[in-house]
Amino acid sequence: MVSWVDESPSIGPSGSGVSCNMLVRVRARGREAPRGPAGTEESALIVRAFLSRRRLLVKGTVAFCCLLGVGLLGLWVWVCPNGLPLFGEPRGYFEARRGSEPATSQVRREDALGEDRVRHVRLSLDSGLVVDLAVRMPPERPARGLPLVLLVGGYRTGRNAVSLVGEGRGMVLAAIDYPLPEARRLKGWRAVAAVPRIRRAIYDTPPAMMVALDYLLRLPEVDPTRVELVGVSMGAPLVCVAGAMDARFTRVWAVQGGGNAYVLFDHLLQKKIPSAAPRFLAARTIDRLLRTISPEFWVAEISPRPFVLVTARDDERIPKACADVLFERAGMPRARIDLPGAHIKAGDRAMIDLLFDTMQAHIDGAGSAP
């Protein structure tokens, strides 16, 4: 680039008027601009180099976008295996997992628990879904059917929940395992790597409840007009989904659970992720992965059958706001029972007995729940 700096006349010391500074000062950036045919050639080379760089930039951008698209598609397939939706209605998935043929049942073993009998059964479907459940029955077959209580507890308890209840309840107790047997062993990065399987197991649980009910209603000990579906802790949100889809459940109990997955997991992750920003990201991700199964979007469909929400006054795990949103979304008839104590644990026999005393009072018609 050439610039004209000074071409004004300057009077010399003699005063002759002769220009002493009729100079053109040329400031070249880099080097002087070429002139003639050689300059034209070099300009063409510069233009070609510019266009070549531009083409490389375009190609690099296209390659990056393609890799990003493939990566996002791979992430979608990883998070949503075998048709499990990330967005939209999951009912079609639930129905598909129930299979097109009745489940085949296999009694794996039968144990004694006091005077009661506990039968361990595996149900297999042509969809690939496998349901393991335990059924606890009284020693003698009653003259008329007994109330059925299907329990869905925490993932660590599973079907062992039938052994936590005292004897003499006068009911058939059943409980299912979550469709992910190794869930108890998944921690840290192993749990992160297993996110697709964990998500699928959660979405497989509502159809697993309905498949278990198919089997249980065929038992002569069961009264099909008195079927209680009880979800405790992690199971509480999931029974709202199954209860909404299957009218054979005559009443649905959500025990110490709630809606609004973001608020719930932001609270639950405070100890493991103290920093607000990564905890926000983790809670939002979980909320997105479980949004279509969140109970506040399903609980209203349980109506006109009764819905009962059981809370604990000193619950350290379920925020009150989460319980509130679930109860507010429920249709009528509904009831809310507030029990004393903290969040229920498998070894807390006093709390379990109190819960079942409360339930039995309502099953027998003496309680205030609908």
Cβ contact 149:230 at 8 Å: yes
What domains are defined for the chain? 1-33 (no CATH), 90-363 (3.40.50.1820)
C-alpha–C-alpha distance, residues 199 and 305, integer Å: 28
Residue 243 near residue 307, CB atoms below 8 Å: yes
Cα gap 173→148, rounded to integer Å? 6
Tokens of 359: 């339930």
> Number of helices (H) and strands (E), helices first, in the chain?
9, 9
| Cα(260)–Cα(216) distance, integer angstroms | 32
Distance CA 125, CA 105 (A): 9
The confidence score (pLDDT) of residue 7 equals: 44
Q: What does the alpha-carbon distance between residue 159 and residue 175 come to, in Å, rounded to a whole number?
A: 4
- Residue 156, token pair as written in the block: 């660590």
pLDDT at 80: 52
Report the pLDDT value the prediction gives residue 335, as an integer from 0 to 100: 95
Q: What is the chain's pLDDT, residue by residue, as a tens digit (370 residues)?
A: 444 444 444 444 444 444 444 433 444 444 444 445 556 777 777 777 767 777 777 666 766 665 555 444 444 444 455 567 666 789 999 999 998 888 999 999 999 888 889 999 999 999 999 999 999 998 877 778 899 999 998 777 888 888 888 776 788 999 999 877 655 555 555 656 667 788 888 999 999 999 999 999 999 999 999 999 999 998 999 999 999 999 999 999 999 999 999 999 999 999 889 999 999 999 999 998 888 999 999 999 999 999 999 999 999 999 999 999 999 999 999 999 999 989 988 778 888 888 888 888 888 774 555 6
Output the pLDDT for position 192. 62
Based on the number of CB atoms within 10 Å of its own CB, is 243 exposed (0-12), middle (13-18) or buried (19 or more)? buried
pLDDT of residue 5: 42
The helix (H) or strand (E) run that includes residue 357 is helix 349-363
pLDDT recorded at residue 326: 96
Q: What is the pLDDT of residue 70?
A: 47
- A 10 A CB-CB count for 129 gives 18
User: Given this model, what pLDDT does residue 283 score?
Assistant: 94
pLDDT of residue 136: 94
